[in-house]
Each structure stands twice: as structure tokens, then as C-alpha cells.
Chain A
Amino acid sequence: MSSRDCGGRDNTVPARRFRRFGNQTGRSGSPVQNESETPIGLHMNRGEPSANAAAVVATRLTRRFDSFTAVDQLNFTTAKGLIFGLLGPNGAGKSTLIKMLITLLPVSEGTALVAGFDIVREPREVRRRIGYVPQMLSADGELTGYENLLISAKLYGIPYAERQKRISQALDFMELADVGDQLVSRYSGGMVRRLEIAQAMMHRPLVLFLDEPTIGLDPVAKHSFWQRIRDLRREYGTTIFMTTHDMEEAESLCEIVTFMHRGRIAASGSPAELRAALGPSATLDDVFLHYTGASISEAGGDFRDAARTRLTARRLG
């Protein structure tokens, strides 16, 4: 990982906070960081009740569907200001985990603090402080880019006096100012993704959740998307919590990757550490195979997963 990726800013604290990812199997990678790595731009003073708390702290977080346990007693902590990648085969529990963290799915047991608030007891306070971009292309194709942002601004309670300024800022930041008045159904896949990030950032969330954000994007759009995410983190100190199936994405964008397997954390650490732990020439693919017992190409998903992915891909096509 190069330090360029992590974009420290002059007036920010190069934070090297210890990241702990507990699990039941005890196979976690050792998250020790090299001093020269990851000078991370953190905005610590955000007027939050627990300003120095981590972005996400899960405690025995569990979700069961009938007899099936999708997420099994997860304990982990995600430091603020990091780009955090969640990997694992389909059905490993990634989406279930994200849905619980954004308060869309009730938890069966345990809980988590997101941006300092309890997802079970204070879901609305959590929602106020997070942004979420679903895997599906969720910008409304029947509205213009501007209208999509306007609706988001209103839903997030951005005051009237601020709205227009924020919207034009967002359009500029995402290089969508020229097409702001066009219907989103005419946008390319990459443009839609940028618009969605802009929507999710209207209220300057502390944690931004992205569910497989670059699925179906072409390489150029993908790289430009990654750059946006890095810019955004540098600009606002936002913690990025994302799932991905893309090893290149995990390698070049994420500072910490966590592999999930059967509802548990199989391994966690920086991509470099995880690779190094397996051997000098190991790739992240090898890491994936080692911890989940399945290569990416073999990792199956259920019908709904596959259908949804195809729908997204078709809309991007």
C-alpha cells in the first residue's frame, strides 16, 4: 500500500491506532502497522458524544435466520478514518452484517456502536451519522441528478439555507455539474455511482457504508471511483466501510481488509500483512482461498444474490 493512497493532510494527525479484530477462531492476522505506512487524515473533533470512539465497534453481533446463523458472535473494532474492506464468498454474512450496522435488519443477539451510537437502542441517531450506498444502482433513474440530491438533502434534514450550496458542491465534487439536469437513466454506470456517493455524503456522515460499489464498472470508471473515495476521506475524514469481491480493489483501496467466512471473521489486517503471513509471493486471492477454502471464481451465491448482481450489471451495461 502506498502512502499516496491514504492521503494524509498537513493539518491532520498521522494516526496509528491499534485495530483489534477479535474472533472466535483466533486466526486473525496481526494488525501491526509499519511506521512509514498509512498516515491517515483524521478529523477527530466532530462534536460527537464519543469523539474518540472507533467508527464501528461490534460486540457479539449475531443474526440468525431460523436455524441458519448468518452472522455469528462477531467482535471487532474499526478505527475512524480508515478505508475498511469486508471480503468473503457470497453467503459469508457480509450483506447481513452491513444491513445490521445500518439498522435495516434487526439483530438477533449482541449489538454494535456505529459512530458512537448503539444500533439497537439508538437506530435513528446512527442513521443521522451514516451514509449508505446499496449494491444495486439506487439513484432514481426517473429523476435528474439534481432532483436525486435534493430529495436526499431533505431526507437528511439539511437546512433550507444550505441545500442549494451543498447540492452544487456535491455535483462539482463528483464532476456531474454538466449533467445535473439530465435524467439519471441517461447516466453511465460510473456516473450513477458518483451521484450515489454524492447523495450519501450530503450530510457529511462519519461512516460511509458501500456495498460492492464497483461491481459491473469498467476499469476506468473503477479507478476514478477509487480516487473519489480517497479524495472524500481526505476532505471529510469519513470512515469508509465497504464490501467487495474485487481483490484489486481490496489491495489498492482498502487499508484494512477482513475476510468473513460462514458468519465469522477468518482473518483481518492490512493487505500487505495478510499476504506476507502466507508467504513471499502470496496474492490476496491466495489469502482468500486460504481462509475461506474457496477461490473467488468458485464462490457460489444463492439465487437472489446472483439475480441482484445481474440486475445491477444490466443497468450498468
Chain B
Amino acid sequence: MPPEHVSPPAAWAEIARPGDFFVQTFAVAEADVRKLIHDPVELFTRMVQPVLWLLIFGEVFTRTRAIPTGGLSYLDFITPGILAQSVLFGAIFYGISLIWERDLGIVHKFLASPAPRTSLVLGRAISSTVRSFFQTFLLYVIAELLGVHLRFGVKALAGVLATVALGSAIFATFSLIAACIVKSRERFMGIGQVLTMPLFFASNAIYPLSLMPSWLRAISSLNPLTYQVDALRDLMLIGGTSTFGLLMDFGVQILALTALLAIATKLYPRIVT
């Protein structure tokens, strides 16, 4: 029987179009943001810790005046540090969701789609930054209520958002890398606990670099959190200044993020093998 030609069905496998990369990247982020909209409780429980730091630690230490803060009140001084910390803590456990979604098969499905690996990783980093914006908003509300001297210029606020976005993306990507290496929830939680406190303490978040012993200062200068806090101190506070300069702060962060994204893209497919 000679084969007849039949008309193709309504459509078939899609061809690639320019702009697909952005659609795919934001689709990954969108999935996460839509989940947050359905169940935003997490955003609020995340704020408990920073509030305690500001309200208790900040208020008490602001009375001691033992820490050289360069003319700022101690409460003012640690506010950028606490913002950076809450962003760090929010992002550093982000990888657990990758392991969880791997166990559910969601990650398999994403990996079997034509979306490039880079967009799968970048999309997740972006969804982490969306969470961090919400944290920033709530922290500003609390800090204003406590009388912290905040700057509200458009440039300053845009700078703060950019810094927070970078910081969140850096630590979320770092967390994804850890998840792709350890692969199990239990081991990941262990790693997360081990990492968070050293990252926090080996930074200028709650005390200036000048107070640190030289070995700790050396470690701090390799910690992206230090540059994040440094930039935030300049951008958030009236009278705040950066130690390294904003150019260096952003340069270091962009470099760190680029390197981490490249590593994560390479390791990402390993999560399912």
C-alpha cells in the first residue's frame, strides 16, 4: 500500500525562538513565587529571627557603647547586618527545596524539558531574590519603628535592592551547589547548620572588621556577606559609610555570583543521578 500523506496534527514539538531563555528562566522563578502567593506564611515566620536580633541584641548593645561604630548608634550599625543575615539565612537553606522537589520528581521534569540548565539555576536564584525583597520590606518597617536612621532616596533604595538581590542569589546558588553534591535532605541540613553561623560571624554584620583578630579579618575578607553588609551600611543609613567602596562591594559580589552560577549549572543535572 503506498503511504498517503496525512496533514500534520495541530502542532508539534516547538522550535526554539529568541527570548525563550528569559521566558524559561522566569517560569522557574514564577512557579516558586506563585507557591508563595498561595501560602505566604513562610515569609512571616522568617522575620521572627531578625526582629529578635534588632529588638533584643541591638537594643541592649546600643547601651554599652563598647563597639566602635564610626559615629552610628549600635542599633543603626547592625541593621544592615541583620538585613544581610536574614537574607543569608533565607537563601542558605534554599537547596533543601531542590532536594525535596527531586524526591517528588519535579526536578526530573524540569531537566527533561528543553530549558537550558543555566535558566533552571538562574530561575531559582531569582525566586530567592523575590523572597529577599519581601524580607527587606518588612525589615525596613521594623527598623523605622525602632527609630533606625534610614535613607529613603530612590537611588539608595534601588542600591539596597540590588545588593540584597545579589546577596540572595549568591547564597541560594551556593546552597544549590551544596544540594547537588550532598543530595540527601539529612546531610544537607547538617551542612546548612555548619555553614550559616560561621558565615555570619566571619563577617562585619554585628561588629566592624577593625575589632577582629587578623586571622578572622582574613577570613571575613573572603566572605561575600562582608561586602554585602559593607554596601548596605553605605546605602541604608544616614551617615553610614562603606569601608571598601561600593565599586569593590558590587564587583566582588558579581564575580562571586557569576562563578557560583557557572558551577551550579555544571552540577545541576547531578541531582537526579
Contacts and interface: CB of A to CB of B under 8 A. Distances in A.
Interface of A: 11-14, 42-47, 99, 102-106, 115, 124, 127-130, 132-138, 140, 142-143, 147, 151-152, 154-159, 162, 183, 199-200, 203-206, 209, 235-237, 308, 311
Given A115-B13, A137-B104, A104 B114 contact: no
Contact of B9 (A158, A200, A237): A237
Contacts of A136: 103-105, 108
B8 interface: yes
B14 interface: yes
Contact of B3 (A13, A99, A133, A162): A13
Contact of A134 (B6, B15, B105): B105
A90 B118 CA distance: 34
A128 B112 contact: no
Interface stretch (B22-30, B186-194, B200-208): B22-30
Instruction: With a 10 A CB-CB cut-off, give which of B9, B30, B116, B269 has the most chain A CB atoms.
Output: B9
B116 A124 contact: yes
B14 A43 contact: no
A96 to B, nearest CB: 10
A42 B3 CA distance: 11
A18 B35 CA distance: 48
11 contacts: A45-B5, A46-B8, A132-B109, A138-B106, A138-B108, A154-B23, A157-B14, A199-B109, A206-B13, A209-B112, A308-B103
Given A47-B12, A154-B23, A237-B9, 14 more contacts: A11-B7, A13-B3, A46-B13, A104-B269, A124-B116, A137-B104, A137-B105, A138-B109, A151-B27, A152-B109, A155-B115, A159-B17, A206-B12, A311-B103
Interface of B: 1, 3-17, 20, 23-24, 26-28, 30-31, 34-35, 38-39, 103-106, 108-116, 269, 272-273
Contacts of B34: 143, 147
A116 B11 CA distance: 18
Given A155-B24, A157-B24, A43 B105 contact: no
A157 B17 contact: yes
B9 A155 contact: no
B13 A129 contact: yes
Contacts of B31: 140, 143, 147, 151
Nearest to B110: A155
Contacts of A236: 9
Contacts, number: 137
A46 B6 CA distance: 10
A13 B17 contact: no
A156 B14 contact: yes
B112 A104 contact: yes
Contacts of A200: 109
Contact of A124 (B11, B38, B114): B114
Contacts of B114: 124, 127-128, 155-157
Contacts of B38: 142-143, 183
A22 B93 CA distance: 48
A205 B13 contact: yes
A121 B241 CA distance: 53
A152 B10 CA distance: 18
Contacts of A156: 14, 113-114
A151 B119 CA distance: 13
Contacts of A143: 31, 34-35, 38
A161 to B, nearest CB: 12
Nearest to A140: B106
Nearest to A96: B273
Contacts of A43: 6, 8-9
B214 to A, nearest CB: 46
A13 B9 contact: no
Instruction: With a 10 A CB-CB cut-off, give which of A104, A151, A209 has the most chain B CB atoms.
Output: A151
Contacts of A203: 11-14
Given A128-B13, A142-B39, A135 B116 contact: no
A158 B34 CA distance: 20
A135 B181 CA distance: 23
Given A44-B5, A104-B269, A199-B109, A140 B35 contact: yes
Contacts of B11: 162, 203-204
Contacts of A205: 13
A152 B109 CA distance: 9
Nearest to A159: B17
B27 A11 contact: no
A283 B80 CA distance: 71
Contact of A103 (B4, B30, B112): B112
